[in-house]
Structure 1
């Protein structure tokens, strides 16, 4: 039997785009309302729910555990597009489930 939890938060970014793997210094910690049971494998899906900024936001998730995860907006960055990294406040919805 799977267990699920949901939530939302407001995120913005005042930092440059993170392009270095493993640098989580600008992420925001989200704590689940209730920890998942010990030994659980947890997945997290997140989606921007609003359209407040002119650029396309990406969502990065890291360090998912049974008690929470890290998240940040990471303005999309492409080969021909330079991102300033600054991004407006957006509402992000998330869904977490055991697998």
Structure 2
């Protein structure tokens, strides 16, 4: 049986772009309202729902488990502009479900 949960959060980034894989000390922890059942394969999808800053706030996820996930902005490079990783406050919606 499939299970779905969703929510939204307000987040920003005051940290430089993270380029080292697995380094998550600048990520925010999101905890699901209800843990998914033990042994579940959980998928998380996120969407930035606001447009408050001029740079594109790339979203990075890590450590998706049955109890939550870690998330942060990592600005996307483009248009000849070098992103510094810092980003203003945006609203991010998320959906988590079992597969």
What pairs up with 1:14-29 in 2 under 5 angstroms? 14-29=14-29
Which residue is 1:36 aligned to? 36
Deviant stretches of 4+, over 6 Å: none
Structure 1 runs not aligned, ≥5 long:
none
Which residue is 2:92 aligned to? 92
Structure 2 runs not aligned, ≥5 long:
none
The 8 Å contact of residues 55 and 83 in structure 2, kept in 1 or not, is answered as no
Which residue is 1:69 aligned to? 69
Which residue is 1:57 aligned to? 57
What is the rounded CA distance, in whole Å, between the counterparts of 1:36 and 1:86 in structure 2?
32
How many corresponding residue pairs? 99
Which residue is 1:9 aligned to? 9
What is the rounded CA distance, in whole Å, between the counterparts of 1:4 and 1:24 in structure 2?
25
Q: 1:77 to 1:92 in 2, by over 3 A?
A: same
The 8 Å contact of residues 16 and 85 in structure 1, kept in 2 or not, is answered as yes
The 8 Å contact of residues 60 and 74 in structure 2, kept in 1 or not, is answered as yes
The 8 Å contact of residues 17 and 77 in structure 1, kept in 2 or not, is answered as no
Aligned-residue CA RMSD (Å): 1.3
Measured after TM superposition, the shift of residue 57 of structure 1 is 0.7
TM-score of the aligned structures, taking structure 1 as reference length: 0.95
TM-score of the aligned structures, taking structure 2 as reference length: 0.95
